[in-house]
Chains A and B, each alone.
Chain A
Amino acid sequence: MEIKLTVNGTAHSDEVEPRLLLVHYLREVCGLRAANVGCDTTSCGACTVLLDGESVKSCTVLAVQANGRSVTTAEGLVAEDGTMSAVQQAFRENHGLQCGFCTPGMVMAATSLLAENPSPTEQEVREGLEGNFCRCTGYHNIVRAVLAAAGTLPGASTEVDA
């Protein structure tokens, strides 16, 4: 069927099979490769994107379910001049990644979390990211990055340099 949706602010119209998963639509039809297929079972969060501003696991959403809606991937967080979002910048500055596979999903989950709760405690960040697995970092620097992006990291500057 034909679907019309907005991806990273750009209108898309495509003929898709109903069984096409949103993550495959984004990667293979739109050519946006930030969202990764990790576990493929709604567990690991590597495929997390925003659907109408809220984090979802795009391996468990059909592209047709996104018809008429707005999708944001990690690519869409970057401004036209290449400036990263506060969350992306904070991940870089706090070394919130090692291999990087989980990072786009982590960034999108954190972006959604901060939209719902702009000043989370460390515990709220940890619970808010429970749908995203990282097998490298032990999560500490990821949590620091999210707190830094929120401006609630104890003992750190709340300013994020562009």
Chain B
Amino acid sequence: MIPATFDYEVADSAAHALALLAEHGDDAKLLAGGHSLLPMMKVRLAQPAVLVDIARVGELAGIRSDGDELVIGATTRHADVAGSDLVRAEVPLLAYAAAQVGDPQIRHRGTIGGSLAHADPSADLPMTLLALGGSVEISGPGGVRTVAADDFFVGPFETALSPDELLSAVRVPRGGEVPWGYQKFVRRANDWAIVGVAAYDGRVALASMGGTPLRATAVEEALRGGASAAEAAAHAADGTSPGYDFHADSEYRKHLARVLTKRALQGERG
């Protein structure tokens, strides 16, 4: 499968990338690892006229501490997040989640910013950012704005990003000792979650339970009220309307959400 034709531009800085986006508008898409965009282009679900390659922009990659947060450049690859001593020590949930994305080859190419901007409701990192209570830094013509994960995912494969903006970095709270759990239910190796759950410090996020990654707010409320993990997890599917496919119908997904949430709240990882 061959993508439709496009023009290829290599950005040498974030400012250059923004200038190229301003020049080409809706016709342009940013390319980093390309592991969400290229598969869509190969089946012609996406046919951008211009690709702006930001993978060679050094200022967009890397991991550093900033007060009580870690700041991870948007083009930092999953393998680098998963293997980072800093992330493993300070935000172990994020390191673990990055290691669950796809397979080793995919983690050698795919980037944290790309996965979040793609906003697949069944993916590992959107759910994880939501559970962590993290945020994204977005660069645009008017400067940099920070958007909380809770406000970033607005629909299936849709985010708060405008076509002239660039997701430049990801911010997550440091908390090496904070209890967390992660559950990803799949039938096949390197597949997307049929249902996924990430739990961190009383926050619970779900994948594949709706058009966006979701906070399990009823679970969080029950926990705040003193409920046990099992009692709180019974509310995991409250208010959700998960879709159905050949893996699972809606009721089964709700069942999985309750079971997996209980396990995640008990700190299980799988």
Contacts and interface: CB of A to CB of B under 8 A. Distances in A.
Interface of A: 1, 17-19, 21, 24, 40-43, 45, 48, 51, 54-57, 60-62, 64-65, 109, 112-113, 128, 130-132
Given A40-B42, A60-B38, A61-B109, A18 B104 contact: no
A144 B74 CA distance: 38
A56 B8 contact: no
Contact of B5 (A19, A41, A57): A19
Binding site secondary structure of chain A: mixed
Binding site secondary structure of chain B: loop
28 contacts: A17-B5, A18-B5, A18-B8, A19-B3, A19-B6, A40-B1, A42-B39, A42-B102, A48-B105, A55-B104, A56-B105, A57-B106, A57-B109, A60-B34, A60-B39, A60-B109, A64-B8, A64-B53, A65-B31, A65-B34, A109-B105, A112-B104, A113-B104, A130-B103, A130-B104, A130-B190, A131-B104, A131-B105
A131 B53 contact: no
A57 B105 CA distance: 6
A18 B7 contact: yes
Interface of B: 1-8, 31, 34-35, 38-39, 42, 51, 53, 55, 79, 102-106, 108-109, 189-190
A17 B102 CA distance: 28
Contacts, number: 75
A41 B104 contact: no
A19 B109 contact: no
Nearest to A54: B108
Interface centre among B7, B38, B105, B109 (most CB of A within 10 A): B105
A18 B6 contact: yes
B108 A41 contact: no
A109 B108 contact: no
Nearest to B83: A116
A131 B1 CA distance: 20
Contacts of B102: 42, 131
Contacts of B2: 19, 21, 24
B4 to A, nearest CB: 7
B185 to A, nearest CB: 16
Contacts of A130: 103-104, 189-190
Contacts of B38: 60-62
